[in-house]
Structure 1
Amino acid sequence: MGEKNMTANVVLNFHKKDQESAGALLELLMAVDEGIECNYYLQYGNNINTLSIYETVMKFMEMKNAKFSTELPDIRVPKEMIDNDPNLLTYEGNHAIRNRGQKKSILQWNLCVYKYIQKLDSFLMIEPDCLMLKNGWLSDIYSAWEEYEGPVFGHLKKGMIRHTYMPTHWAGCSLYDCKQLRELPLEEYFYKRYPNPWWKYRNDEGTVNADNGFYGPVISGYDISYDYFLLALYFKEKTGVNDPLRWPLDMFRSRSDLIFCDFKTKMSSEEIIIKFRDRLPFMHGVKDDKARELMVKYFYRAKIKERYVGDYEISGPSDSPVRTNSELLSIHELKDRFKGRRCFIIGNGPSLNKTDMKMLKNEFTIGLNRIYLNYDKMGFEPTFYCVVNPHVIEQFAPEIDAIKSIKFVRSACRSYLKNRWNTFFMDSFGAHEFNQDLGNLEWCEGWTVTYCAMQVAYHLGFETVVLIGVDHNFPKTGDPNKLVTADGSDQNHFHPDYFGKGIKWQYPDLERSEKSYRVARQVYERNGRRIIDATVEGKLDIFQKADYNELFIRSSKGESPYTLNGQGERLFGEGDFEGALDAFTSAVELAPGYATAYNNAGVVCLQLGDAQKASGYFAKALNLDPDDRAVIINIGRLLTSSEDVETAKKIYASYLVRHPEDKEVCALMSALNK
């Protein structure tokens, strides 16, 4: 036999009914290393319009050398073979009868195998219930096949005939030597049948009746699956006899040590992984997608040295649905999944060194860029992670791969990353737009990754977003967006190595960032949400300020100021104004710097007819946060109604100097000037 071509080919055959598992398998194949040059062929057995895992398929084809097809060879089984089928008759004894619907599925499988036998020199067939269990899995299989002389390489399955276990077929997920198989009259036997070699032994003593070789008295490429048919046809052609008891069946070794097939396994996903991981290249017959998901995470983590990230739990409350990031999610499934909750966006300023990060372990968090350099101090990984700067991604891709969080990444940089588990690649549009629904996988970068994180938080449904580490103050700066190479330790971030010596980075664009932040604030407040800035000694003056430590204060009943404020808003909406006022005043007692609660208390007082008390609450809110547009509008209208127009004008004018784009306040100001 001539030297084998060692370019590996893998054919994945899947259908509409098993495409969810096929999607999980594709994710696994993107995580594991084949260990050899490889081509993939994705063969889908239904109309392309029924493909629901399109995004996963496209992602796989971008990452791998892969082709997708729905076409099969134009081979038509003769009508007389279908209509006059002796295998559909009833026979006494062992008879594993298949109806026409089942035979249609068998034919489709056989045509798929036949197609690639004609097309390639060799290929490994896999199906959605396969599980890759070690890096280099494909190299192990192809290396062993190089010394093998049979037409099919894999798990050689046996059946009992006359008290003797003998090979009856290769498992379907095997490696096919196409050059040898093309020597067989394969196409001929889609058009005609020949006697089933096992049939005459079906009722003999010591023959097991479960063997699928007993489909009926005749076989062909239409009647019996190729895993049986190829073994029978190969030995018939090579020996000239059609009798398995006279075939040299022991000439080929079963390689279940490399390709293990077990459709009847009772092992759980965890038990399979414990038993076979890093020992068996792959297993066929694993129905539970959990096993594939567990191996995806294992391979991604194994790619990265421990020094990069360490091993920390993902932050979140005890009821977090993503605490382990073990469920494969779509961007649509994440929409509003955290409605009404709060999260923290963790910037990367030096103020993090003055912030007790361990208090966030049970909170939803969004980390940015190189936040993982702070994991030791934090004691957790963020729930979500955003990165948009191409220089950060290019230079630190292996570290980003190691992050366990659900990730949102600039799509143009996807080629740098191998870990695609719950990683959403985002396209960018506009300069200062704000995308409230990321279902189209688009965000506006807005000159800062923090702005991207605000859009992510909005899509996820968070009602309150708290900023920490967003210092908005850079000791070392230069021309906005200019790319430079650091010549020493980093003073602008929480860690001296963040953009340390030799690292490429860009000077920040504070002016454009501020414009984006104002847009974010307007969108949040217009929809009854809020962004709070709890950065220690932060210089950003766009969002309502809050004391970081006060965010974790609890009343005697375990309620935080922000929980009480939420209760007040709910009670107000229900018409319980007295109850709402109690909640708001309780909130400001716990957090005297909570401008939003003061404003809400003023609104309730107006509803109760107490304008004087409302004025006092609005004044406190304005003093705490002169950029809160809700406060500006409320106090301006109250002053106007009490005929203090000049004071209202001054408040509007002061606000519009900082926010000239606010059309509603502009309109109120114009009305007073008429």
Structure 2
Amino acid sequence: MSSLFTKFRETRSKYGTLYALARLRNFLMATLRLLLRSRGVLSHNKTVGESGNKARRDRIIVVGNGPSLNKLPMHLLEGEDVFVSNNFHLMFPRIAWRPRFMAISDAYVLIESHTKVIEHAESYERIYVPAMHASNVDSFKIYKKLKNSYFFNVMPIPKVRDLAYVPINKTVTNFMLGIGARLGYREVLFIGLDLSYPSVNDYDQSKRIIQSQRDDKDHFSPEYFNKGKHFHAPEVDEMRNQIRLTIERLDGISFKNIGVGGRLDFIERAALRSALVIDHETEISLLRRHLRYRLPLLMPNANHDALTEEIIERLLEFSTSPDVPQTAPKGISFHPTGHESAKMPGEIIAVDALGFDIRANYP
């Protein structure tokens, strides 16, 4: 109980008495509702199972939703056990594969994105959700009809009818790490966990709840928290510290950052291709599958199979003979992967494909 009032005092000093009282009221109401619902939650979880029957690897890739994802060869993650969160479905038009697991822990994502989550629910093996959010959001009621939803207690209260407790601690990343540890993964690879919000100074720092007034610059898609959507003002330093503390508590698990940039600088870095042990033949195969998925979306009138093979052939020529003049297939442009490539015209088809970004150039 003392920790509850310590949290109340901290919240009051930062965001004011009214907000702190509303948070306390919501927490107490959510606790009561969880106690009343716990039997139904446990019954649902028993039917669904914490994870599916598919064999697991030793490693799992935990994906943040930072802008750095736009600089990574996401097509190379196909076949991995990938854990994503919140509005990651906005990435689906860009990738041929689908993640294995998805988690939601933010109250506003639980409410405002539930239609899209339900729409894409079959893409995931499991969707992990708080049984009751501390903001008094009844997420069990919203998501219990999904056949692959599984619920945890995220509130720091004594055991609720044996419902497993997995804390959030400021960020969905901690929720994902706790679940990954429960599932038995021994290696965690991070990508897209930038822990950097370029637009943070645009927010009113005295407010915890922000309503977006523009396209989102802090995530991989401008639609992530676009105009009209609500989100919690990021407490970046505290998020970073809580992730570090969570990692320190998870014994027997190794962690590497295989992304680019960002402030996850207390984790050992590794190159993505090296960490995933991707050889040349595998990379070509994954790129081929990716192109056959992307090209019909971007260039519906093209001969997609023929264009796929031509792109790969030309890329191999570029990569093996960089000094020999080459031309890209019609309607396609190649740009050496790097910061300048992001400024080039045309819709991106693939990032860092054999060292080049591939774009569709429209008339």
Instruction: Place the TM-score, normalised by the shorter chain, in its bin.
Output: 0.5 to 0.7
Equivalent-residue separation in structure 2 for 1:449 and 1:389 (angstroms): 7
Equivalent-residue separation in structure 1 for 2:99 and 2:107 (angstroms): 21
1:345 counterpart letter in structure 2? V
Q: Is the 1:446–1:512 Cα contact (8 Å) retained in structure 2?
A: no
Equivalent-residue separation in structure 2 for 1:367 and 1:555 (angstroms): 25
Equivalent of residue 128 in structure 2, options 408, 429, 440: 408
Equivalent of residue 421 in structure 1, options 127, 136, 147: 147
Q: Displacement, 1:534? A: 1.4
Q: Is the 1:480–1:509 Cα contact (8 Å) retained in structure 2?
A: no
State the SS of the aligned residue for 1:447. coil
2:213 is the counterpart of 1:494: no
Q: Displacement, 1:336? A: 12
State the SS of the aligned residue for 1:497. coil
Q: Displacement, 1:514? A: 2.0
Corresponding residue of 1:259 = none
1:356 counterpart letter in structure 2? P
Corresponding residue of 2:114 = 397
Q: Is the 2:70–2:220 Cα contact (8 Å) retained in structure 1?
A: yes
Q: Displacement, 1:540? A: 1.6
2:168 is the counterpart of 1:451: no
Corresponding residue of 2:95 = 378
Corresponding residue of 1:511 = 237
Equivalent-residue separation in structure 2 for 1:481 and 1:446 (angstroms): 19
Corresponding residue of 1:531 = 255
Cα gap change, 1:487 to 1:556, in 2 (>3 Å): closer
Q: How many residues in Structure 1 have an aligned counterpart in Structure 2?
A: 229
Q: Displacement, 1:382? A: 1.0
- The superposition leaves residues 227-268 of structure 1 with CA deviations (integer Å, 9 ceiling, x where unpaired) of xxxxxxxxxxxxxxxxxxxxxxxxxxxxxxxxxxxxxxxxxx
Equivalent-residue separation in structure 2 for 1:391 and 1:368 (angstroms): 13
Corresponding residue of 1:348 = 65
Q: Which runs of 5+ in 1 are unaligned?
A: 1-53, 61-326, 559-674
Q: Is the 1:345–1:365 Cα contact (8 Å) retained in structure 2?
A: yes
2:264 is the counterpart of 1:553: no
State the SS of the aligned residue for 1:458. helix
Cα gap change, 1:548 to 1:538, in 2 (>3 Å): farther
- The superposition leaves residues 580-632 of structure 1 with CA deviations (integer Å, 9 ceiling, x where unpaired) of xxxxxxxxxxxxxxxxxxxxxxxxxxxxxxxxxxxxxxxxxxxxxxxxxxxxx
Corresponding residue of 2:49 = 330
Corresponding residue of 1:485 = 211
Q: Displacement, 1:415? A: 2.2
1:366 counterpart letter in structure 2? F
Equivalent-residue separation in structure 1 for 2:154 and 2:41 (angstroms): 20
Q: Is the 1:485–1:501 Cα contact (8 Å) retained in structure 2?
A: yes
State the SS of the aligned residue for 1:442. coil
Q: Is the 2:102–2:128 Cα contact (8 Å) retained in structure 1?
A: yes
Q: Displacement, 1:418? A: 5.5
Equivalent-residue separation in structure 2 for 1:534 and 1:440 (angstroms): 33
State the SS of the aligned residue for 2:61. strand
Q: Is the 2:41–2:140 Cα contact (8 Å) retained in structure 1?
A: no
Q: Displacement, 1:56? A: 6.6
2:274 counterpart letter in structure 1? E
Equivalent-residue separation in structure 2 for 1:358 and 1:391 (angstroms): 29
2:257 counterpart letter in structure 1? D
1:463 counterpart letter in structure 2? R
- The superposition leaves residues 263-296 of structure 1 with CA deviations (integer Å, 9 ceiling, x where unpaired) of xxxxxxxxxxxxxxxxxxxxxxxxxxxxxxxxxx
Q: Identity of counterpart residues, as a percentage?
A: 20
Q: Displacement, 1:551? A: 1.9
TM-score by length of 2: 0.57
Equivalent of residue 468 in structure 1, options 191, 194, 198: 191
Equivalent-residue separation in structure 2 for 1:430 and 1:505 (angstroms): 22
TM-score by length of 1: 0.32
2:215 counterpart letter in structure 1? S
Equivalent-residue separation in structure 1 for 2:54 and 2:80 (angstroms): 17
The alignment yields a C-alpha RMSD, in angstroms, of 3.2
Q: Which runs of 5+ in 2 are unaligned?
A: 1-38, 133-138, 283-363
Cα gap change, 1:399 to 1:557, in 2 (>3 Å): closer
Cα gap change, 1:515 to 1:480, in 2 (>3 Å): farther
- The superposition leaves residues 182-225 of structure 1 with CA deviations (integer Å, 9 ceiling, x where unpaired) of xxxxxxxxxxxxxxxxxxxxxxxxxxxxxxxxxxxxxxxxxxxx
Equivalent-residue separation in structure 2 for 1:519 and 1:337 (angstroms): 29
State the SS of the aligned residue for 1:367. strand
State the SS of the aligned residue for 2:247. helix
Larger Rg: 1
Q: Is the 1:343–1:457 Cα contact (8 Å) retained in structure 2?
A: yes
Q: Displacement, 1:366? A: 0.5
Trace 1:574-589 onto structure 2 (pairs within 5 A).
none
Q: Displacement, 1:392? A: 0.7
Q: Is the 2:68–2:194 Cα contact (8 Å) retained in structure 1?
A: yes
2:255 counterpart letter in structure 1? I
Equivalent-residue separation in structure 2 for 1:399 and 1:475 (angstroms): 26
Q: Displacement, 1:429? A: 3.3
Cα gap change, 1:461 to 1:59, in 2 (>3 Å): closer
Trace 1:92-111 onto structure 2 (pairs within 5 A).
none
Q: Displacement, 1:532? A: 1.1
- The superposition leaves residues 51-85 of structure 1 with CA deviations (integer Å, 9 ceiling, x where unpaired) of xxx6578559xxxxxxxxxxxxxxxxxxxxxxxxx
Equivalent-residue separation in structure 2 for 1:428 and 1:487 (angstroms): 30
Q: Is the 1:372–1:381 Cα contact (8 Å) retained in structure 2?
A: no
Q: Displacement, 1:334? A: 6.5
Equivalent-residue separation in structure 1 for 2:102 and 2:49 (angstroms): 16
- The superposition leaves residues 547-580 of structure 1 with CA deviations (integer Å, 9 ceiling, x where unpaired) of 223223357999xxxxxxxxxxxxxxxxxxxxxx
Equivalent-residue separation in structure 2 for 1:534 and 1:481 (angstroms): 34
Corresponding residue of 1:317 = none
